[in-house]
């Protein structure tokens, strides 16, 4: 497998180098030079396979020998020992539940694949590694759990102070050990900018080995494409063209869906469903990419991203052509009031408890399907368990749903508070990196 930068100003690299570098030197994003189409028989018979088997077939296809097939299979079965069921709510309306991993968010697929793959390579070399990651809520918890206790790896998580839910904060601040948290006085975009600056700091990089666990790292993104194929496999029996609605913030999730499409997954189109941080829906409408700064705090906090870092990758997958993107992605955005109504509607119409992010995806799908006259089958992605947002659920629904055991976290929060300037962050890193 060869990967190139979206800016084409850096040398091509192999999979191992791409995942340990995170970002190419020209500050673009790595994308596979070739995304192979899987055989038509795979897509024809994928409904006979379970999630892990589909994941293995896709990984073998895209990684093209970067990890020997037998070892890759073992690695996938170890990392992703949970599934992604498509739950039927109504005729032709499905919810793809992506919250059955340890942190109860879709980020577990990428974080656990990445942790397992990195330790596979590190075991071979015996080197040490520092993971830097920015989170607006869900990535942090998944990365904390995925990398907790992994020998030779130290993790630093940055999150915006006061802008993540209580459960999300506890998930990323209570493990201790090799996982450290920094609460930044600022937004998620500030956290992301600090991390990116560290990656471009050649002096720092000459002393410490740094890697990213955000979806800017291709190893986070590739495994997210597996559950799209599994959604297709589960809905194939409907014999209808599929619309997939993706709740979107940093746009890694949708990018992974487009990669699955490039591997041959049949899909009519995707919906990019956002909250009022609607940079991509605006782009689809106007053709202008205008980051929102600062990002606007909303009920669907994990999607409060004003400058989605995967956008260049998404655009590159459509050869930089907005018309090609428009043919495959429809963008819709929703206010918090609409999001609340979506949570209520899902509960009252289908007895389905959905978090605010999932509600945004549902609303996007509903709008798209109303516009295309109900010709399609639709699936919306549920990116996190509602238990991560219990106070919000309670105020919307008027009762408090039960909190699953995995989210009943009793540890004590430990985080270093910091302003959003690089000098402070750099000083912290030079004291804590391994
Ligand atoms: N929504 C994310 C923001 C970071 O996105 P990532 O997919 O690039 O890690 C979060 O929950 O932290």
Give the pLDDT band of residue 373 (cuts 50, 70, 90): confident
Report the atom number in ligand 1 closest to the C-alpha of 159. Answer: 12
Fold of 83-104+220-397: Rossmann fold (3.40.50)
Average pLDDT (150-170) is 96
Residue with tokens 């030197």: 25
Catalytic site positions = 107
Neighbours of 405 (CB within 10 A): 7
Select from 224, 177, 222, 281 the least CA-distant residue to 19. Answer: 222
Average pLDDT (325-348) is 98
Question: What DSSP letter does each residue of 63-86 carry, written as one string?
Answer: HTTSS-HHHHHHHHHHH--S---E
pLDDT of 240 > 90? The answer is: yes
Strand ranges inside 299-391, DSSP E: 329-333, 377-382
- Using alpha carbons, list the distances in angstroms from residue 389 to 105, 166, 168, 302: 12, 8, 9, 11
Element (H, E) at 197: helix 188-199
Lowest mean pLDDT among 26-40, 116-130, 336-350, 380-394: 116-130
Ligand 1 centroid–CA 127 distance in Å is: 27
Token readout for 430 is: 């030079």
Listed by start position, the domains of the chain span: 83-104+220-397
- What pLDDT score was predicted for residue 36? 97
Residue with tokens 């948290």: 181
With a 6 Å cutoff on the Cβ, whether 308 touches ligand 1 is no
Give the pLDDT band of residue 353 (cuts 50, 70, 90): very high
Q: ipTM of this predicted complex? A: 0.98
Q: What's the distance, CA 391 to chain centroid? A: 24
Average pLDDT (364-392) is 94
Give the pLDDT band of residue 140 (cuts 50, 70, 90): very high
Give the pLDDT band of residue 375 (cuts 50, 70, 90): confident
**Residue to mutate (ligand 1; options 101, 215, 246; most atoms within 8 A of CB):** 215
- What pLDDT score was predicted for residue 123? 85
pLDDT of 374 > 80? The answer is: no
Mean predicted lDDT score pLDDT of the chain? 97
Identify whether the C-beta of residue 198 lies closer than 8 Å to the C-beta of residue 132. Answer: yes
Q: How confident is the model over 153-162, as pLDDT tens digits?
A: 999 999 999 9
Average pLDDT (21-50) is 96
Where does residue 113 fall: left (phi above 0), alpha (psi -120 to 50 degrees), or beta otherwise?
A: alpha
**Residue to mutate (ligand 1; options 99, 142, 252, 356; most atoms within 8 A of CB):** 252
- What pLDDT score was predicted for residue 125? 83
Q: How far is the C-alpha of 407 from the C-alpha of 424, rounded, in Å?
A: 32
pLDDT of 42 > 80? The answer is: yes
Query: Which residue has its alpha carbon closest to ligand 1 atom 1?
Result: 302
Report the atom number in ligand 1 closest to the C-alpha of 309. Answer: 8
With a 6 Å cutoff on the Cβ, whether 138 touches ligand 1 is yes
With a 6 Å cutoff on the Cβ, whether 215 touches ligand 1 is yes
- Using alpha carbons, list the distances in angstroms from residue 233 to 80, 101, 186, 387: 17, 20, 42, 28
Average pLDDT (209-232) is 96
pLDDT of 432 > 80? The answer is: yes
């Amino acid at each position: 497998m060869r990967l190139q930068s979206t800016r084409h100003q850096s040398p091509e690299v192999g999979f191992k180098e791409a995942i340990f570098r995170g970002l190419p030197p020209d500050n673009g994003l790595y994308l596979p030079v070739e995304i192979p189409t899987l055989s038509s028989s795979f897509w024809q018979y994928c409904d006979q396979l379970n999630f892990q088997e589909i994941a293995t077939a896709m990984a073998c296809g895209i990684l093209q020998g970067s990890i020997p097939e037998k070892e890759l299979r073992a690695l996938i079965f170890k990392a992703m020992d949970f599934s992604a069921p498509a739950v039927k709510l109504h005729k032709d309306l499905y919810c793809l539940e992506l919250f059955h991993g340890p942190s109860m968010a879709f980020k577990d697929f990428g974080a656990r694949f990445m942790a397992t793959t990195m330790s596979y390579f590190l075991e071979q070399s015996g080197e040490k590694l520092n993971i830097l990651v920015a989170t607006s809520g869900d990535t942090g918890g998944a990365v904390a759990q995925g990398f907790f206790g992994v020998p030779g790896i130290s993790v630093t998580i940055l999150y915006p102070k006061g802008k993540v839910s209580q459960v999300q904060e506890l998930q990323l601040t209570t493990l201790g050990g090799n996982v450290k948290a920094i609460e930044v006085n600022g937004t998620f975009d500030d956290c992301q900018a600090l991390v990116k600056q560290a990656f471009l700091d050649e002096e720092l990089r000459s002393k410490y080995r740094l890697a990213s666990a955000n979806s800017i790292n291709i190893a986070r993104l590739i495994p997210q494409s597996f559950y799209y194929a599994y959604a297709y496999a589960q809905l194939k029996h409907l014999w209808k063209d599929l619309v997939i609605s993706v709740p979107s913030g940093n746009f890694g999730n949708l990018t992974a869906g487009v990669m699955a499409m490039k591997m041959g997954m049949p899909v009519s189109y995707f919906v990019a469903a956002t909250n009022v941080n609607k940079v991509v829906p605006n782009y689809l409408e106007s053709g202008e990419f205008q980051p929102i700064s600062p990002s606007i705090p909303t009920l669907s906090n994990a999607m409060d991203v004003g400058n989605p870092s995967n956008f260049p990758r998404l655009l590159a997958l459509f050869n930089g052509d907005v018309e090609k993107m428009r043919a495959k992605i429809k963008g819709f955005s929703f206010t918090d009031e609409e999001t609340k109504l979506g949570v209520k509607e899902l509960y009252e119409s289908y007895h389905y408890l959905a978090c605010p992010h999932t509600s945004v995806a549902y609303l996007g799908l509903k709008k798209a399907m109303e516009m295309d006259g109900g010709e399609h089958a639709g699936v919306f992605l549920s990116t996190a368990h509602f238990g991560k947002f219990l106070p919000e659920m309670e105020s919307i629904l008027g009762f408090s749903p039960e909190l699953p055991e995995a989210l009943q976290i009793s540890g004590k929060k430990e985080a270093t508070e910091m302003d959003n300037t690089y000098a402070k962050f750099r000083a912290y890193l030079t004291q804590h990196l391994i």
